[in-house]
Amino acid sequence: MRSRSVLSTLTMAAALAATLTSTPAQAHGAHHTGGTRHCPQLSKKLRWHGDNRAKLQRTIDERGTCSAKWRGGGHGHRPVAAFDWDNTIVKNDATDATIAWALRHDKILRPQDWADTSKWLTPAADRALTEACGTDVPVGKPLPTSSNAACADEILQVRGEAETMSGRQAFAGGWNHRRTVPQYAWVPQLFAGHTVAELRSYARAARDEALAAPIGSEQRVGTHTVPAYSRYYAQQKDLLRTLRRAGFEVYIVSAGSEPVAEEWASGVGIDRKHTLAIRSVVEHGRITTWTEGCGDMPRSKGGMIPYIDGKRCVINQEIFGIEGARAWRKQDRGHRIAIGGGDADTDVTFVGDATGTHLVLNRNKPEIMCRGYDDADGRWAVNPMFIEPLPRKETPYPCATEGRTNPDGSLGPVRRSDGSIVPDQKDTAFGEEA
């Protein structure tokens, strides 16, 4: 597996040299004019909830180029910020937008056997997909999902709800619920047979279409009604830009397909080497149903993806160069991110690992909201979504009883690092535009 470690001398030297050559003022993050020091600052014209801007700015000042401890950004010294993608940097789900576009343009290829697309796909789901999509189309050729609503419906229902249109369970068996979720892993598996370049082109087309659609607009795919629009959050674009100016290495860590995440992330200046997501195994130039592993987990059919603890593993391995079983464990402060941002329980582990600020966008996901509102270290920043924020959750989050998903899929209490149980938390960051 290729390494993207920020500890790599060649990578860091090249990145630093390029930055110093092209934009010296940004590389240093501070300059002097008449004795006054100017440090990279988050825009005060963009609204944040409460003191969240101040919390983020504090970490930027503490760790970035304006810090008294700044050591020039050399080998292994640059602070790292990592963010989830869908509904964290953009409004709505880029992966779902790409799937919707692919279904409307007949880009899903018929598999030999639907059961081969996922090791956990149930016989009921296999039958439903086979019956809806038919067998008339030759294996490896595009399914007519733009005109076959039943086929598009089954695919969307399995992906979105992990069930068939008739309500039968789509996935079953044993998997580590903190390392993968079958319907997420199924997305790149749906694109098996395509080249990476083809999938990137679908993602670009879906992105451009979604960004041009009016806010709040919807589209019909099969008989499903799904969001038609997306937007890069202005606050997040400003945050990413400010972090880079302050000398941070900025990464995207997504539970979506890597080529899709790469294309969308390019819209905010994040390049491919700084975009980590589900990495499909490619053979003979074509995407397969196999995915790369992490740590001590080998390649599999989705047994590990960047999901909950899987995101920690990917960050530890690909950014900090930590290998084997150690990659699954929380590291010392020198090998952890400074800022982490996410919106869902899939992000809770790596966001919690951040040593500076833990940014959470409120989508009412229990574990990450429990930790955000508990604010054990005083560095959690919970913010309503910047576009169409959710209203207040009327009942408290069940942190003390079933806020956490265990590896076997059961629910249990959310615990602090000292083992104490987080009490139920009320929803307080909600409502009007942040």
Over residues 122-156, the pLDDT tens digits come to 999 999 999 999 999 999 999 999 999 999 999 99
pLDDT of residue 75: 54
Q: What pLDDT, on a 0 to 100 scale, did the predictor assign at position 28?
A: 40
Between residues 19 and 423, the one the model is more confident about: 423
Output the six-digit token pair for 346: 């899939």
The residue written with tokens 């996901």 in the block is 365
Decide if pLDDT at 19 tops 90. no
Q: How confident is the model at residue 74 (pLDDT cuts 50, 70, 90)?
A: low
Model pLDDT for residues 348-407, shown as the tens digit of each residue: 999 999 999 999 999 999 999 999 999 999 999 999 999 999 999 999 999 999 999 999
Residue ranges with strand state E in 205-338: 218-221, 224-227, 231-232, 249-257, 275-278, 280-283, 286-291
The mean per-residue pLDDT over the stretch 183-211 comes to 98
What pLDDT score does 69 carry? 82
Enter the pTM of the model.
Answer: 0.91
What is the rounded end-to-end Cα distance, in angstroms, of the chain? 41
User: Does residue 262 surpass a pLDDT of 50?
Assistant: yes
Burial of 352 (0-12, 13-18, 19+ CB in 10 A): buried
Question: pLDDT at position 76, please?
Answer: 63
Query: In the structure, what pLDDT confidence band is assigned to residue 68 with cuts at 50, 70 and 90?
Result: confident
From CA 18, how far away is CA 15, in angstroms rounded? 5
Contact by Cβ (8 Å): 236, 385: no
**Sequence-ordered strand ranges (E) for 286-373:** 286-291, 339-342, 357-362
Q: CA-CA distance, 338 to 243, in Å (whole number)?
A: 11
Nearest alpha carbon to residue 278 among 268, 266, 288, 267: 288
Indicate the SS3 state at residue 64.
coil
Least confident of 6-15, 85-94, 106-115, 274-283: 6-15
| Per-residue confidence band for 10, with pLDDT thresholds at 50, 70 and 90 | very low
Dist CA 406 CA 327 (whole Å): 19
The beta-strand segments (E) located in 284-400 are: 286-291, 339-342, 357-362, 380-384
Q: Above 70 in pLDDT, residue 14?
A: no
